[in-house]
Structure 1
Amino acid sequence: MQLKYSLITTLSALLLSGLYLGTYARTETVDTTLVLHEVVVTGSRTERPVTQSPGSISIVSPVLLRNTPAQSVDDILTMISGVNTTRSDGISNMHTNVSIRGLAGDEQGRTLVLFDGIPINTSDEGGVNWNSLHMDNIQRIEVFKGPGSSLYGNNAMGGVINIISKKPFSPFSVNASGSYGSLNTWKTNLGISSRVNDKFSVFLSGYYNKSDGFNNVPDSLRTNPDYSVARFVKEGGLYAKILYSPTALFNIDLAYDLYKDKRGEGEKIQAPDGEYRHFNHHRVQGRFYGEKGKFSYNAALYFQRQDYFKLDERMKNSDYQRFDVKSHRDDWGAIMHLRLSGKFNDLVIGSEFKNGSIDGGDHYVTSPDKVLNRGTIRIISVFAQDELSLLNKKIWLQMALRYDNAYFHKGWFEAIGENVSDFNTYNGKLKNNRWEHFSPRIALRYNPTETISAYISYSQGFRASILDDLCRSGWMWVGPKIANPDLGPEQIDNYEIGGTFRLTGTLSFSPSFYYAKGKDFLYYVATGEKMWGKRDIFQRRNISKVDVKGIEADLNYTPVNNLKINLNYSYNDAKIKDFKEQPELNDKLLTYAPKHQVKGYILWTGGIVDAMFRGRYKSKQYTSEDNSTAIKGFAIWDAQLSKWLFRHRLYVSGEIINIFNNRHMNTKEYMSAGRLMNIKLAVNINR
């Protein structure tokens, strides 16, 4: 508690010092996190000012992207109120989750992530490969908090994160950068873009990163210290985009994203590189859009493949065992929506098709055993939204409804071999399952003056079960588990009120209050069957109800154009309310859902140097569903200094992440790297 209050006091002091410094600051241009006239697209699938979007939206601007001391996209998102991330050790993390409003930070599938409006969550495990999203390819990020299923469907229970890519603006531009930092970490990037003419543009970038890494497993959790090694990282990617706009009614954006990596797991027995994981990730997107008069349309086709590999080796008594996990995860689909603008309303209708599949298995190297699984989920959707403007555009009323029809099929499981014979009972084809869901939303935003904008809303969100639960049997953290093809969607009803209030010309306050009731949340339940006659066998089931109450508040102060100060606080109380099979879990908090988060930063641009200083505090997080285990709360401070030289041709920056070397735990298994330092040099050529 002392740590929490000391951080609040320090952030408050920073805010007051910013008020003082602002009196003498020199005026230059700087982006802000959220201003009342700023245009967003995520809240309604079409461009509109924040004051016309009835919900809570946070924006990460280009200036914040460039000046935030962070090594990944999700690390930037951690500064937004209501957002929780699990990354703790820079680029070494293999898997990171980003959650919104306490809906279990170990379940990425409850927060939808879009790239240029196209979903990138996988159907197999609901996650997002955050390492594959390169910051130099990103223009801005919009975070819509609260259920967004009325427009976006699956995964949008807690909210929607829309990552918007860069577009070429210059006739020709080259940007090359290199950086070096702690843990012998090297990063290189090369980007080339050209706006050839008014109709045709191209954007191409590539990068390569490597790091010796460190061992992020605490000594107390290492199974055998003799085999413990550092977790190395090697990763790289290519991104290409073509934009063609022959007419206002017909525009095309085509993009291809390739990402590959190899990440050590911190243990080496016999394999040359020890245990490691590897992604071979392809993403292809095509967008077609245009407008004429009051009519506009937007269509998209996309395909995403993740080829995943993990080498797992271990010693069982004196026997060496190794198996390789190989999975092919495909997600593809199409989205279409049409917009018709009237004098007092905007009507959007649309449809979506998404198909996700998994073909994976554990292939033993030291024995002939195999454990294989396959399955496909298909979701077909239609949606409609109407937004009415009333009282000379002082009131915006939004009404939306979406229908989703999901079909799980082609499920199959097979365990082959003597060592996995205990799962033979479950071999064979899995039953098909179909379900449907309606997602309504009604919201109202009221703008009585230019300085006040308030909203109230009701919305419903859902998440389809992941294929890993529908069709894979095997070992999980609870022990042996069997697939459950009968799983339906998780659901949540959210009630919310909030707004943005301009207290002075330079100071604004944005609070929001929400209450959500969830049902059919997934939990592991003992089936009554035993493995080896003694070990409980578990299965995921739609079994519990959840209540979530919370407050988010942002204070933004811009005393002059080149000084920006933000201080925000989040309170979240997410509890299991009705779990008949395990009543002892009632009133327990959800895992990885901190009750309190305090965050803030000071950003100065346009002077001798650009500078950012940021801090964040996260309270205790429970790591078990019965709340018997937890990780302590922690505070982190970061800083970055940067400077453009020679008319924006040369860029130099230095950053320190975790200034005070707080080696905290952000998950129950992994400890942070502590202090990380990095220097960067970039060259920019424009003509």
Structure 2
Amino acid sequence: MITAMVIMLMMSAAAFGQQTQGTQSVDEMVVTATRSEERAIDVPVTTQVIDREKIEMSGALDIGDLIGKYITGHFHKYNGLLSPVGLRGFRTESHGDDVKGYVLLLVDGHRVGTGNAAKINMDRIERIEVTKGPASALYGSAAMGGVINLITKKGDGDLFVSVGGDAGSFDYYKGQLSTGGEVNDRLRFHLTGSYEDTDDYDDPEFGTVYNTGVTRKNVGGNLVFTVNENHELRLGGNYADLTSESPDWDGDAYTRYREDASQHNEKDHAYADLEYNGDYFGNAVHWRGLAYYLRDKNHWYWGDPVAESDQTKYIDETLGTDHQFEWHMNSWNRLLVGFNLEWLEKESEGVSDGQPSTPYTPGMEYDTQALFAQDSLDLWDNRINVIAAVRYDRFDVTTVRPKTGDLPDFNEKNEVYDHVSPKVGIGVKVIDEFLRLRANVGEGFKSPSADQLSADYVHSNGTHYLGNPDLDPETSLTYDVGVDLFHEFFTLQVGYFHTDYEDKIVQVTDEVDGDAVSTYENHGDSVMAGFDVNFQWWIDRMFDWTVGVSVYSNAAFNTTKDDKDTGEDLQYISDYEVKSGVSVSYAGFSTQLSHVLVGPQMITNYDTYEDEEKGSFDFWDLTLRYRFLDHWEVRGSVLNLFDDQVEWVRGYLMAERNYRVGLTYTF
């Protein structure tokens, strides 16, 4: 069906060609794929954008739910504010330091400092840009599957103050206060704070899922000062205080949840950043500089019946700076060079049976330095766009003694290694800017962690954890090709990707002289391939309607996901995903009906430790909004409209049909 659509549209392209100039879809600006603002059609790497309208109409409560609703990849949602997100078979690491992940989460261009998308509040996000495929040539380690860049509100527009509240099923409520706007020609800002709480929810099969309450407190904002037309400073940041509970099954059989379960967790996430943008030499050179601080805390209480009797706590802190210089050498050649420096420290501690104990993971230190360069060529009257990028990363990592635990033989070992990541892409426009052909090839990598390289200690459980200094980084080589159609009435993007994934790091345990020794090895290669399809149709434009009507559909079909050693399917990669919706708007009224379909995937059943296929599932959401009298907004959502069984992860059934309503006054 897709092939037939492409052929038909190409045959009719001549008739459409003259209409495509200057349309919104062609002129949309993106920044993530090349680290500089460019028209999407001039960048060979496809960028999927979730704009503010889609964010507001999503009904989602955090970035994890939002990505799961709109972006095809692998969303892995647990109870208790734990949501790694994935792209093309790779996903973020959500239990601790995000440098262990395979998809990189950014905020305003720098690491956000966590791989847990459930921690990230949406109130400050203006738009989200998602690039799929390896991005290590510009962003380094942990960008094998792609990059998700959260771009925050900067306070453009008139001054305002907004007060709002929401209430809904399962005793949900939220209060929010926001303010911002342009104070004068030089100063603008955006600030927001919110308090949000929900109680235990019900699922469609087992009834009340006890111990699933969540409390979120968020505050953050941006302050932007324009020195003059060539220089600008921005100070931003966010703090999130998060508390959630963890459900437990009553007995061995999955029949009902324990009402007296006591496990819970306390998490927080914070960042602060200072950004400078300046133009020099008659706007020929642009300097963008960033300094940032990141903090991520994960504190789990596991004890039963006294939760505090068993605890594990990790705190990651990062200081970083990132600088890039873009030189417009002439009208068709732009050179971007830059560097990145980061210092990350991870502290760990534990409690067992009420006494200080050795946590599962020791402390770690990462000192990283990187240099990167990219050349962008716009040739033949901007009909051919070429990018070539390369990055050098150097890592100095140390395993650090945890704050608790009796470890007399702990050896704080240090290892140093480096890696080079290249990438090249080309886009060719034909028939004016209606049709674009593109191709990319690039390498992604994920660095070994400090404990994988340099651990050397005997845990209180008797196991000797021993790092392997000879580990190689995990790497991927991906090529993708695609065809994109841009028209006033629609956009269609169809791409094929093929990834060879090598040197996966796995943990292995052997017995040496009667003692258990756990270490790490590069073991196993795999291949992943498939199709990405993104479609947007502005029906109202086509028929010149006064009522706004549009349809979107984002789909992924994973045709190959093979472990080369075993020949078996890779786990936690769905055969297909389709995420679609229709939006209608008129005057102050707008509504969106959305549908998510996730296909079957191979998983491990952790009751039997056997591999099995997890079946497909789908669900519908309906959201409505009405703005009236210039100041008021009323909104409502019906989530899981048809009361489907939604199970992103086996054993963690999500909520039944539920409702929310809200009211906001802006002055």
Aligned residue identity for 2:381:
N
Residue 505 of structure 1 and its aligned partner are, at CA, apart by: 4.0
Match of 1:325 in 2: 312
Return the match for 1:495 from 446, 468, 479: 479
Residue correspondence of structure 1 range 59-74 to structure 2 within 5 A: 59-74=49-64
What CA distance in whole angstroms lies between the structure 1 residues aligned with 2:127 and 2:146? 17
Structure 2 residue aligned with 1:620, among 594, 600, 606?
A: 600
| C-alpha separation in 1, matches of 2:356 and 2:205 | 34
CA change 1:500–1:526 in 2 (3 A) is same
Distance 2:400 2:264 in 1: 28
Specify the alignment match of 1:636 in structure 2. 619
- For the pair 1:557 / 2:544, whether they are aligned, the reply is no
Identity of aligned residues (%): 20
2:112 alignment partner AA: I
What code does the residue aligned with 2:215 have? K
- Change in 2 beyond 3 A, CA 1:278/1:485: farther
Work out whether residues 330 and 356 of structure 1, in 8 Å CA contact, stay in contact via their aligned partners in 2: yes
Of residues 454, 462, 483, the one that matches 2:437 is 454
Q: Pick from 217, 228, 241 the counterpart of residue 247 of structure 1.
A: 228
Q: 2:206 and 2:641 mapped to 1: Cα distance?
A: 23
Alignment of 1:476-625 (within 5 A): 482=465, 484=467, 486=469, 487-502=471-486, 505-529=488-512, 538-561=518-541, 562-573=548-559, 575-579=561-565, 586-607=566-587, 609-624=589-604
Q: Which amino acid letter does the alignment assign opposite residue 345 of structure 2?
A: S
Bigger RCO (CA 8 Å, 6+ sep): 1
Tell me, what secondary structure is at the counterpart of 1:346?
strand
Provide the rounded CA distance (Å) in 2 between the counterparts of 1:350 and 1:633: 44
Instruction: State the match for 1:198 in structure 2.
Output: 185
CA distance in 2, matches of 1:430, 1:578: 36
The residue identity in structure 2 corresponding to 1:498 is G
Note the 1:351-370 alignment, pairs <5 A.
351-367=339-355, 369-370=357-358
Find the counterpart in structure 2 of residue 21 from structure 1. none
For the 8 Å contact 1:328–1:360, the answer to whether it is kept is yes
TM-fit CA distance, 1:169? 2.4
Does residue 660 (structure 1) correspond to residue 642 (structure 2)? The answer is: yes
Quote the residue 1:170 is aligned against.
157
Structure 2 length as normaliser, TM-score?
0.86
d(CA) in 1 for partners of 2:648 and 2:440? 33
The amino acid across from 2:424 in the alignment is I
Q: 1:119 pairs with 105, 111, 125, which one? A: 111
Cα gap change, 1:335 to 1:49, in 2 (>3 Å): same
Alignment check: 8 A CA contact 2:279 2:286 kept: yes
Q: Is the 8 A contact 1:275 1:313 kept in 2?
A: yes
Q: What's the RMSD between the two structures over aligned residues?
A: 3.3
Code of the residue aligned with 2:190 in structure 1: it is F
Contact 2:622 2:641 in 1 (8 A): yes
Residue 523 (structure 1) shift: 2.2
CA distance in 2, matches of 1:56, 1:202: 31
The alpha-carbon deviation at position 555 of structure 1 amounts to: 2.2
Runs (4+) off by over 6 Å: 105-108, 215-220, 268-273, 471-476
Residues 105, 591 of structure 1: 8 Å contact kept = no
Q: 1:279 to 1:680 in 2, by over 3 A?
A: same
Number of aligned residue pairs: give it. 620
Structure 2 counterpart of 1:378: 367
Q: Give, in whole Å, the separation in 1 of the partners of 2:204 and 2:351.
A: 26
Instruction: State the match for 1:20 in structure 2.
Output: none
- Answer yes or no: is 1:389 the counterpart of 2:375: no
* Aligned match of 2:628: 645
**Mapping of residues 30-69 of structure 1, within 5 Å:** 35-69=25-59
Cα gap change, 1:634/1:252 in structure 2, threshold over 3 Å: closer, same or farther? same
Post-superposition Cα deviations, 1:375-420, rounded to whole Å, max 9, x if no partner, equal: 1112110011001111111001111111011111253368846xxx
Contact 1:574 1:593 in 2 (8 A): no
Q: Unaligned regions of 5+ residues in structure 1, if any?
A: 13-31, 418-423, 580-585
TM-score (norm 1): 0.83
Take 1:216 and 1:467, find their aligned partners in 2: how far apart are those partners? 40
Distance 1:323 1:47, change over 3 A: same
Residues 1:412 and 2:401 aligned together: yes
Deviation at 1:182, TM superposition (A): 1.2
